[in-house]
Amino acid sequence: MSGLARGDRRALWLGALVVVPVLAWRAAVAPLAEFVAQHDTRAAAAAELFAREQALRRDGPQLAKALAGAQRTLAAESPRLFIVADTAAATSSLAAWVRGAAIVAGLHDARIEAAPATPLSGALREVQVDMRARGDLAAVAGWLSALERGQRLVLVQRLELVRADDGTLAMSARIRGLARAGAR
């Protein structure tokens, strides 16, 4: 460095004063800071998991009682469910049930289509069908009453009534039912 002019030496020292800290930051401080941040994130996740596990341990007896209550309710309501081998059979059973109620109530031209099924917890499945039919107001009310008071647990999720040109009501409905796997 002795062969350099005084201004050049000063420029090199100033450059070194800027470059060395930047290189030290990139090589040592930044990776260490990232490691500490990742460690803190993992520690927070572990603490949260531990708190949830402690809560489950503390609430274990109440959860066992709630599970037993849910199992008793399921056993009591099982006769009202569609007990079938698979979802397609459950949808078919729901369609037959809804069509039978429509015929008894006096609805005409009943067309039923399967709608997507939804798996619920355990062996329960929610099955649904869309139905279109025609009839007078008394037939629609009779059909709704038959579904409400029937042996099966069903829910009319959507009901649309439109007066047709011939004076009857054109009805469209989505009906949901619960099914459970098992031997019929």
Helices 137-149, 87-105: crossing angle, 10 deg rounding: 130
CA angle 113, 117, 121 (to 5 degrees): 155
* Average pLDDT taken over every residue of the chain: 86
The answer on 155 and 103 residing in a single domain is yes
The answer on 25 and 95 residing in a single domain is no
Burial of 170: CB neighbours in 10 Å, binned 0-12, 13-18, 19+ = middle
Question: Token pair 């569609």 is at which residue?
Answer: 82
Please give the pLDDT value at position 2: 63
**Domain boundaries, position 40:** 1-77
Residue that terminates a domain, selected from 45, 77, 109:
77
Pairing of strands 169-181, 82-84: parallel
Residue 109 pLDDT greater than 60, yes or no: yes
Tokens of 56: 């489950």
Confirm if 86 and 127 have CB atoms less than 8 A apart.
no
Residue 130 pLDDT greater than 90, yes or no: yes
Please give the pLDDT value at position 139: 94
Specify the number of domains making up the chain.
Answer: 2
The answer on 71 and 52 residing in a single domain is yes
Tens-digit pLDDT profile for residues 47-66 = 999 999 998 888 888 888 88
The answer on 112 and 86 residing in a single domain is yes
Confirm if 126 and 117 have CB atoms less than 8 A apart.
yes
Q: Confidence band (pLDDT; 50, 70, 90) for 18? A: confident
Q: Confidence band (pLDDT; 50, 70, 90) for 1? A: low
The CATH number of whichever domain residue 159 belongs to comes to 3.30.70.60
The answer on 172 and 116 residing in a single domain is yes
Tokens of 152: 């099966």
Residue that terminates a domain, selected from 46, 77, 108:
77
Reduce the DSSP state of residue 46 to 3 states and report it: helix
Residue that terminates a domain, selected from 28, 45, 77:
77
Reduce the DSSP state of residue 182 to 3 states and report it: coil
Across the range 76-94, mean pLDDT stands at 81
Radius of gyration of the chain, Cα coordinates, nearest whole angstrom: 35
Which helix (DSSP H) or strand (DSSP E) does residue 166 occupy?
Answer: none
The whole-angstrom separation of Cα 163 and Cα 183 is 43
The answer on 87 and 70 residing in a single domain is no
DSSP code at position 5:
-
Tokens of 148: 């409400």
The answer on 106 and 46 residing in a single domain is no
b/e sequence 42-51, b meaning 16+ C-beta within 10 Å: eeeeeeeeee
The answer on 109 and 46 residing in a single domain is no
